Amino acid sequence: MSDSNTPPVKSEVFVSFRGKDIREGFLSHLNDTFERKQVKAFMNDRLVRGDEIWPSLVQAIEGSFISLIIFSQNYASSRWCLEELVTILKCKEKHGQIVIPVFYDVEPTHVRHQLGSYENAFAEHGRRYKTKVQTWRQALNKSADLSGIESSKFQNDAELLKGIVDLVLPRLDIHAVNFNGLVGIDTKIADVESLIRKSKEPKDIRLVGIWGMGGIGKTTLAEEVFNKLRVDDKYDGYSFLANERQQASKHGIIFLKERIFSELLGNAAKIATENSLPNDVVRRIGHMKVLIVLDDVNDSDHLEKLLGTLDNFGSGSRIIVTTRDEQVLKANKADDTYKLRELSSDKPLELFNLKAFSKSDCLREHDELSKRIVDYAKGVPLVLKVLAHHLQKKEKEVW
């Protein structure tokens, strides 16, 4: 969400849910987990009494980087949940907001096609809200096609919570360093964009790599470019795989392949082996112009295992890979690479002050100490963020 009209971020994650469906303790455990991970989440049970409820909800949705939609048996019976959903998808289209659906004791197909309890809910809505029904149906259909999480694939709520957090955190990890003032990033976005758009033939398929040391902001940069291209250019399918190195180790290649191609195709893709794709998948993607990001790739072989030969994709497709190791890009014959360097000149101090201080009158008092801390961090954004968070609101003696 990087365009100039994007609302200011107040929460990192907005959670849309139907309270009576969620098992006792699930939401509180989710909130506790987010708090431990230093993620600011908004749940609509937190509205201050006396607020005009709907305007407050819209403001909360627009001021979040991610919306987490917990679809449950009775989600569609609430007109407020459906209105939240419509607003969330508008933010996705307008600002590039990330939307993650969680199918909690409900099948994605029931959400997509309004079956079961969703069918019953819409029978009632058809009598009371005739002018709204079609918009709500379209919103459910679109959101059910997004890549998300199904509770049926987890043994219990504890594992489901971990799955949700594992999906959310990589999207926020480094983006949160810069989001309230994307220090020095505009020029970098333009640089990478120029490499992506650069082509002798408009129909070329291009692989562009972003590389540099850990914690330097590769994910943030790739995410900003990804969101911008989604708005500016027309693609038939999109996929952003965050933290490939860790996820491949944890879930395996086949799981990740299914996630990528399900996102691209808009429905579940079943893949049996690491080294090949089903014929129907190859046939469909051959006609699609796609935008794919593989983030934090550590193994040179994983690119081909995850995507197959790039010639499988339709003309004009773009693949972005971030990695700490330039050899990963060389081994895969990247068309262009972009080395992301440490923040230079006064940018590290600007970023540290942005994250460490809430009041400008504290700056002069801590000026010398701040400069020493920034020197210690050597311009690495993630280190600056961690130190700033640790020292925020602490007495000068702690510094």
Residues tagged active-site: 84
Give me 108's structure tokens.
């994605």
Rounded Cα gap, residues 70 and 167, in angstroms:
14
Question: Could you tell me the end-to-end alpha-carbon distance of the chain, in angstroms, rounded to an integer?
Answer: 34
3-state SS of the chain? CCCCCCCCCCEEEEEECCHHHCCCCHHHHHHHHHHHCCCCEEEHHHCCCCCCHHHHHHHHHHCEEEEEEEECCCHHHCHHHHHHHHHHHHHHHHHCCEEEEEECCCCHHHHHHCCCHHHHHHHHHHHHCCCCHHHHHHHHHHHHCCCCEEHHHCCCHHHHHHHHHHHHHHHHCCHHHHCCCCCCHHHHHHHHHHHHHCCCCCCCCEEEEEECCCCCCHHHHHHHHHHHHHHHCCCCEEEEECCHHHHHHHHCHHHHHHHHHHHHHCCCCCCCCCCCCCHHHHHHHCCCCEEEEECCCCCCCHHHHHHCCHHHCCCCCEEEEEECCHHHHHHCCCCEEEECCCCCCCHHHHHHHHHHCCCHHHCCCCHHHHHHHHHHHCCCHHHHHHHHHHHCCCCCCCC
Alpha-carbon gap, residue 219 to 40, rounded angstroms: 19
Closest CA to 44 of 56, 52, 33: 56
178's CB contacts (< 8 A; 6+ apart) are 185, 217, 220, 351, 381
Residue 291 Cα distances to 89, 190, 206, 228, angstroms: 20, 17, 10, 11
